[in-house]
Structure 1
Amino acid sequence: MKIKKSIPTLLLAILLSVTLAGCGGDSASNSGPGGAATQPASTSSGNATGSGSNGPTSSTGSASSSPAVNTGSASGTIKLSVVKYVLIPAEEGGLTSYYLGIVRNDGTVPAMQLQMHLMDDSGKQTNASGTLLEFGNLPPGQSIGFNLAYTGQNPINHPQFKVDGVAVDSSIAFQFGKLTVLSQQRGTSSDGYPTLEGEVRNDGDKEIDLWEVNIIAYDASGNIVDVGSASPAGDSTFPAHTTAKFRTILSDRGAKAARYDLFATGQVG
């Protein structure tokens, strides 16, 4: 895959390390499954920053506390919160456990530069953190999945999640594309792992330079079993009003998936 330099925006240029749940590491990743996609909104805002801290009270459930959000100009705010998470314990003899979950923007404008942090039972930040949606933004009302890998002797039974983000200012709103996921198809890789591939359409009038598909996989009971992100299956350049294919390899837990939620987003070239 050819990756160009990202356009000079206010975006933080950090390359996201795509690591599926089930693989070792200390960082968050997004690669995985999907369903219906929601298009990014080109809503203007002030240069606001916001952060949310949530303390879910169970290993599988919803976050209970509301995040504190800093407002920007009169244009609007972002409000980021963890609405659901699940703990995947380390395998026998292993030290790495995984926290999979969903972040939602309940604000009035899109958010970018999302940073996830896992806090321990005392509120101290752990070695598990990562970047979400490096190449796009999170519109109001939209949710995406996260995947944090934590390495330690014991899992954190009552974790807190901190989510930081920046509101999309009107001066850079044009730099985000409008993408729609058209199809998805599940398969199997040569080494037996589940795969997910499909097609995305660029609905905008400008070429998209860098893009990604955030994926959340659920089992038949509605439980999250995998979270990740799909990359372009070829050149990352995406002309206006055309389609492109994506593909990703899921973890072995992805084999249990019965449903996917997908969200595609990207930057204009």
Structure 2
Amino acid sequence: MKVEVRSLCAGYGAKLVLDSVNMEIPAHGIVTLLGPNGCGKSTLLKNIGRILTPRAGEVLLDGRAVSRYDTGELARRMAILPQLHHASGELTVEELVAYGRFPHRRAGHFSGTHDRDAIDRALRMTRMEPLRKRSIPSLSGGERQRAWIAMTLAQEPELLLLDEPTTFLDVCCQFEIIEMIRELNRDFGITVIMVLHDLNLAVRCSNELVMLRNRTVRYAGTPAELMKPEILRDIFEIEAEFFTGKDGLPYCMPTASARKDA
């Protein structure tokens, strides 16, 4: 699914968080939104997902304004996983993943075989099949995050929006989540837009990086184009050393603050 953001202005109450944001994301890619705290990354994701309504401008999905999508159709084509999520009681992994089929219900009932196949496929894709009968509270942090991602995949979306999917996870779990997202994109062509704070994870998995600061998009391009000293200094106010990984991608190690008041 292709995503276009045109002259988007958005905020909360009297506070303007995004001002005249323009962005185009091709279908089947992985794009990561980066920037300092409070720059509007999550707000932009919520406007794309129609959780928030923009003050001005518009978001287009496959050339059609997101505001013109019927709620059911939008839920069948797009899935969003926010930063914070909670499963009540002793809900099992399988029961949680089944919630992803609700947009596909007809007259309040599941369609049977196709729904079951979609749930089974989502569990396999996220390597959660062996844990399908476990309760959500009994899972580790990484397992819990994979269960929530499985729920979004059960929707069979064309577009997946992820807000900080690696937050609160240890380094190994972060890597596993990122690798799983890459596999889902590669094997099923799902367009992924996500928010991350880890620059190197973003470089590893993204076709394109979008960097925000001062309420707008400051830079957009490939990791090779944006992983530059002057760009990271401008966006994150850091000094960094750069190196090329075995995969040929540009990575960095922050070495000092570049804030003028630091």
Higher normalized strand content (fraction of residues): 1
Structure number with the bigger relative contact order (C-alpha 8 A, sep ≥ 6) is 1
TM-score with structure 1 length normalisation?
A: 0.24
Higher normalized helix content (fraction of residues): 2
Bigger Cα Rg: 2
TM-score with structure 2 length normalisation?
A: 0.25
